[in-house]
Structure 1
Amino acid sequence: MGTAITLIIILVVIVVIIALIAMGSYNGFVKSRNLIQESWRQIDVELNRRYELIPNLVETVRAYAAHERNTLEDITRLRSQAQSVAQSDGALPSQQRADVEQALSGAVHNLIVSVEAYPDLKSNQNFLELQRQLAETEDRIAAGRRFYNANVRVYNTRVESVPSNLIANMFHFEKATYFEVNDPSVRQAPSVSFGEIAYRGDPQQGQLPPQQSAPPVQFGGGADSMPNPQQQYAPPPQQQGQYQPPQTGGYQPPQQ
């Protein structure tokens, strides 16, 4: 009788421990999922801000660069598509949302690069302000994307790990989607050219041009060069008509 009670107590203790572990794992999944949703809402705010800036950018560029019609039409189409996917998505982004936002980022990036051929547009204050706001928005999107992807990585690791994957399968915690930019043109930093800052020598000899010697130092006496320090000083010759001291010796009194 006592052995049976002991076994029952041991089984109860084991069940309680398993229940506590399962409860902790479940709460961890809920916390991670809420953190992912919160970090995604920050990105979604910046994406909606970009939706608002793009029409003004398109109209400004259209007034100065009519030849960019195809690029402007692509941006308008991708913006409408992104808004449509955003409305149909749930609390977390789908892979379709990530793909269309990536395409929209690439189209806006290409448009900003193409306006380098239009000096009037580059000096337009409205365009410069829109470009600045878009750049700030893209920076915030990139920062939010890094934070979001870090949370997704932690969450997905728990979904796939043992024994937390048992709780994930039991309560249908599925893997979240990363929000990444895989387009090399979007990742590439703009090139900056500062021109040539070094001398170039003879292309055949590969040497630097000879340095020019410094000009001779001019002194007050009008000499063309510095005096030779080894040359001894020679007194000037005596000229005629100058006073010369007598050759005889000491003082002689006058004759009486």
Structure 2
Amino acid sequence: MKRSMIIWIALGAVLLIIIFSAIGSYNGLVTSETAVENKFSQIDVDLERRANLIPNLVSTVKGYAAHEKEVLDNIAKARTSLIGAQTPDEKAQADTQLTGALSRLLVIVENYPNLKADVQFKQLMDQLEGTENRIAVSRKDYNDAVSTYNIKIRSFPASISASLFGFEKKPFFNNAPGTDQVPEVKF
């Protein structure tokens, strides 16, 4: 009787250890997944800030460079794509498209010295530069959180909890293919 009681207590202790380990693993995965979602929402906020600056920038440039309609139209289209993007991959592609359109605009701005001297334009460019820095930091933070999360769901014993509870690998916020190419601007 004493021996069977010890066996039951030992089995109960092992079972409790397994249960508490699974709970801790699950909670750690939830925490990591929430951190990824939080970091992605910060990228979203920064991209939205950038998208909101664009109409003012375009309006300022229109006054000086009205005949650059194609570039301004491309910026408007890219901005619309960015606002409508939902997933990290969609946002990354739209961000790349908008970055390319903005870089073409900045090349055009070089041809208008009065525009570069305009106070409103300078302020908008400063705000845009600050926003670009925020986006870069947010992307890095997001990718760091994704890396930590992805490692966690693939590491033992958390991988068991991850597969049991449906935790899946998260995508990184990467540039779209071809973004390492300098955009070609034709006049």
Report the TM-score when normalising by structure 1: 0.64
* 1:173 alignment counterpart: 167
* 2:113 alignment counterpart: 119
State whether structure 2 residue 17 is matched by structure 1 residue 17: yes
Q: 1:109 aligns with which of 103, 106, 113?
A: 103
Higher relative CO (Cα under 8 Å, sequence separation at least 6) belongs to 2
Contact 2:150/2:169 (<8 A) preserved: yes
Q: Please give the alpha-carbon distance, in whole angstroms, between the structure 2 residues aligned to 1:26 and 1:110.
A: 48
**1:86-97 correspondence runs (5 A):** 89=86, 93-97=87-91
Contact 2:43/2:135 (<8 A) preserved: yes
Contact 2:89/2:174 (<8 A) preserved: no
State whether structure 2 residue 36 is matched by structure 1 residue 36: yes
Q: Please give the alpha-carbon distance, in whole angstroms, between the structure 2 residues aligned to 1:141 and 1:158.
A: 25
- Identity, in percent, stands at 40
Aligned Cα root-mean-square deviation (Å): 1.9
Instruction: Give the structure with higher Rg (CA).
Output: 1
Report the TM-score when normalising by structure 2: 0.86
* 1:77 alignment counterpart: 77
Structure 1, gaps ≥5 residues long: 187-256
Q: Please give the alpha-carbon distance, in whole angstroms, between the structure 1 residues aligned to 2:114 and 2:157.
A: 63
Shift of 1:185: 5.4
Q: Please give the alpha-carbon distance, in whole angstroms, between the structure 2 residues aligned to 1:67 and 1:9.
A: 84
Q: Please give the alpha-carbon distance, in whole angstroms, between the structure 2 residues aligned to 1:79 and 1:35.
A: 27
Structure 2, gaps ≥5 residues long: 183-187
Q: Please give the alpha-carbon distance, in whole angstroms, between the structure 2 residues aligned to 1:68 and 1:167.
A: 56
State whether structure 2 residue 134 is matched by structure 1 residue 140: yes
SS where residue 162 of structure 1 aligns? coil
* 2:6 alignment counterpart: 6
**Runs of 4+ with deviation above 6 angstroms:** none
Shift of 1:54: 0.4
Shift of 1:17: 1.0
* 1:27 alignment counterpart: 27
Greater percentage in helix = 2
Query: How many pairs align?
Result: 180
TM-superposition CA deviations, 1:118-175 (whole Å, max 9, x none): 2122122221111111001111111111111111110011112222111111111112
State whether structure 2 residue 82 is matched by structure 1 residue 98: no
